[in-house]
Amino acid sequence: MLDAADICSKCWTLMTIAIRILDRALREDFGFQHLLWVYSGRRGVHCWVCDEAARKLSVAARSAVAEYLSLVKGGEEMMKKVVLSDPIHPFIRESLTVVERYFPRYALQDQDILGRKESVDKVLALRLHVRKELQQDFQNEKKPESRWKLIREQALRKQSTAKKGQHFEKEIMLQYCYPRLDVNVSKGVNHLLKSPFSVHPKTGRISVPIDLKELDTFDPFAVPTISLICEELDRPREGDEEEKSAETNENEKDTAERRKIRDYKRTSLAKYVKHLDQFLDGMARSWKGHLLRKSDLQKEF
């Protein structure tokens, strides 16, 4: 489970990065298959890991998974929250591949971490041993992209001369872009979880599943709200008069139930429900295959 400060359109990139990193790790590093990513309705995302093996994990095992995925350490009082050592773990290298894809746009352009003086000071405070050198270099370079290039060049020089690897440009990228996990929610088996399609009480937005095929274009501000759904349900149906005449020949209760089932298709929730149905169908096929393999092993016919 992930959370952040009050979300803005620029900050949502962090959630995109988080999903890319954690989805790959949960699938490839841990072997889980059935992952449902859900927008919280406000400022974060939740991942439902629905594999049977995941559901049976103990608190200790859940804690181990959460610890494996946690890279940013320390609270507000700690300046440097990411420390890398040689050799860099394969999981971290894979995570960096994702971060590098989004870092220039998110950190250098949208957040301007190397533009405003107070932001630059925070970045340089992470690397005190090269702070003075970079401050001098920055006097002649004002563009964030050019300043970032100077940082990377400085890191390369340090890597070639230091006995131990100097990865401070990678540490900076991870500190600014790596996801923060809510470890207590992730490891606790008795922690209350918000169900998909619930309504966030502060925003009124619906907690909807996220289709990873459309992740880069997902807009948290465009998801349906409870007021929009009510408005859509209040609109007259197409062909309502024909239905009413047909209802006279049918059981009214059965007709009402059928209409309730169809109602969501008239709303903005339709595509999100379809995505959930596809996810559940995939789980059902997997479980059916598991039962068939189990039956074959037991030679049951």
18 and 135 co-located in one domain: no
Both 111 and 172 in a single domain? yes
CATH number for the domain spanning 22: value is 3.90.920.10
Pair (138, 155) in one structural domain: yes
- State the total domains in the chain: 3
Specify the pLDDT at position 228: 96
Range of the domain at 261: 229-297
Model pTM score: 0.85
Whether residues 96 and 136 fall in one domain: yes
**Whether 81 and 172 share a structural domain:** yes
Where among 209, 224, 239 does a domain terminate?
Answer: 224
Same structural domain for residues 258 and 173?
no
DSSP 202-259: TT-BB--B--GGGGGG--TTSS-BHHHHHHHHHSPPTTHHHHHHHHTTS-HHHHHHHH
Report the amino acid identity of residue 168: F
Pair 136, 257 in one domain: no
Residue 91: which residues within 8 A CB-CB, separation 6 or more?
25, 29, 68
Together in a domain, 84 and 154: yes
Q: 46 in helix, strand or coil?
A: strand
Task: Return averaged pLDDT per consecutive 10 residues of the chain, 301 residues in all.
Answer: 59 96 98 96 93 93 95 82 92 98 96 94 87 91 95 85 74 95 84 88 95 95 95 80 53 62 86 95 84 64 49
